Amino acid sequence: MKNLKPLIAALALGAVSLGSASIASAKTVEIVMKAQETEVAIDNAGTKYAGWTFDGSIPGKIVRVTEGDIVDFTLVNPAENKESHSMDFHAAEVDVLGEFAPVKPGESKHFKFVAKRAGVWMYHCGASPMVQHIARGMFGLIIVDPKEGYSKNFPKPDREYVLIQSQFFPNADDYKAMLANEGWTNSLINGKIFHYDPVHDPKATKALVAKPGERVRIYFANANVNLPVALHPIAGIWDKVFINGNPKNVLHDIATYNVAVSEAGIFDIVSPADKPTNNAIVDHAMSAALRGAITVLMNTPDADPGMGKGEQMLLR
């Protein structure tokens, strides 16, 4: 294989000198994450839970790149951890036994991949038992924006929010129960029960906000270990659903979309422009909704202009 390297390098240089748009604009995005076995708050009251996390919070940080970019990734597993951990980016086409292999405590792993396909993709730890590493909180989202940018069919949103749903198993050690789907008591949205639902939890201090008539783009991922999500915006209709977040995979006028375990996608909602309204974005499976999977979206003229933009895409 070694003798191929000069050839590959030459081809790569050739591509650059030709000035191909995708190569010329492609950038390398360096991402470092640290596996942290640490306590996290799993509800708005601050109830502690023995989480396993990327960088100390559930979910891990949003990774956002543009189609064609190189993701230069390092996973650090500090020596104080007890478990091996790993990284599985669904946006990557690599070797499950290579790039995605487990990393022991005290070690780290570095790999690169080209984000060749636009979309919205879950990432997660894949170390054994995977069910436990995901259930305890080791997941997040990578957004690969299309290199063509926005278009008539893929309109620019006014606000963007990330919502990641997961199942909460209070007994963090019983991975056999997790496999059997037994003992899960609640659903988490971005790591907390009723995170953005002051109706069902008076301790909730945050909700999604927008102005009437704005296009709100929800980047949703199903990080449940076993259950699909029936994603529905109560008192609204998904104007567009982009399956897997790719502009080519567009659906129109959808009430409920079934999101498979590990699936992620884009869900656009546009509220009536002529009056203030509220939506409740739910998993219409009641066992999940009434155990935490409800998110309030308030459409009011005085909506904070900074919400749903930049760092305020993922409300901690």
H-helix or E-strand spanning residue 277: strand 277-283
Judged by beta carbon, residue 125 or residue 141, the one nearer Cu ion is 125
Kind of pairing between the strands at 250-254 and 238-243? antiparallel
CA torsion angle for 184, 190, 194, 198 (degrees, to 10)? 170
Q: Residue 85 or residue 232: which is nearer to Cu ion going by CB? A: 85
Among 58, 76, 122, 125, indicate the residue that binds Cu ion (CB under 5 A).
125
Site stretch for Cu ion (CB under 5 A), options 5-13, 138-146, 194-202, 242-250 = 138-146
Query: Quick one: which of 90, 109, 124, 133 contacts Cu ion (CB under 5 A)?
Result: 133
Q: Is 304 helix (H, G, I), strand (E, B) or coil?
A: coil
Report if residue 76 touches Cu ion, rule: CB under 5 A.
no
Residue 87 found at the interface with Cu ion (CB under 5 A): no
Nearer to Cu ion, 85 or 291 (CB): 85
Least distance in angstroms from the C-beta of 74 to Cu ion: 15
List 120, 127, 130, 141, residue binding Cu ion (CB under 5 A) = 127
d(CA 313, CA 37): 25
Q: Which is nearer to Cu ion, 60 or 157 (CB)?
A: 60
Shortest approach of Cu ion to residue 37 CB, angstroms? 9
Say how far residue 50 (Cα) sits from the centre of its chain.
21
DSSP annotation string for 198-256: TTT-TT----EEE-TT-EEEEEEEE--SS--EEEEEETS-EEEEEETT-TTSEEEEES-
- The DSSP output letter for 157 is P
Determine which residue in the list 33, 138, 294, 303 makes contact with Cu ion, applying CB under 5 A.
138
The count of residues in the chain is: 316
Query: Could you say whether residue 136 binds Cu ion (CB under 5 A)?
Result: no
User: Closest distance between Cu ion and the C-beta of residue 36, in Å?
Assistant: 10
Neighbouring residues of 210: CB distance < 8 A, sequence distance ≥ 6: 158, 159, 216, 271, 297, 298, 299, 303, 307, 308
Q: What is the nearest approach in angstroms of Cu ion to the Cβ of residue 86?
A: 6
Q: Is residue 118 at the binding interface for Cu ion, with CB under 5 A as the rule?
A: no
Q: Quick one: 184 exposed, middle or buried, by C-beta within 10 A (0-12, 13-18, 19+)?
A: buried
Can you say how many angstroms the Cα of residue 63 is from the centroid of all Cα atoms in its chain? 9
Please state, in angstroms and rounded to a whole number, the distance separating the CA atoms of residues 213 and 277. Answer: 10
**Shorter beta-carbon distance to Cu ion: residue 23 or 172:** 172
Closest approach, Cβ 162 to Cu ion, in A, equals: 21
Count of residues binding Cu ion (CB under 5 A)? 5
Residue 58 contacts Cu ion per CB under 5 A: no
Q: Which is nearer to Cu ion, 138 or 163 (CB)?
A: 138
Residue with the shortest CB distance to Cu ion: 125
CA-to-CA dists, residue 102 to 84, 98, 124, 133, angstroms: 6, 9, 12, 12
Selected from 76, 85, 123, 293, the binder of Cu ion by CB under 5 A is: 85
Contact positions toward Cu ion, by CB under 5 A?
Answer: 85, 125, 127, 133, 138
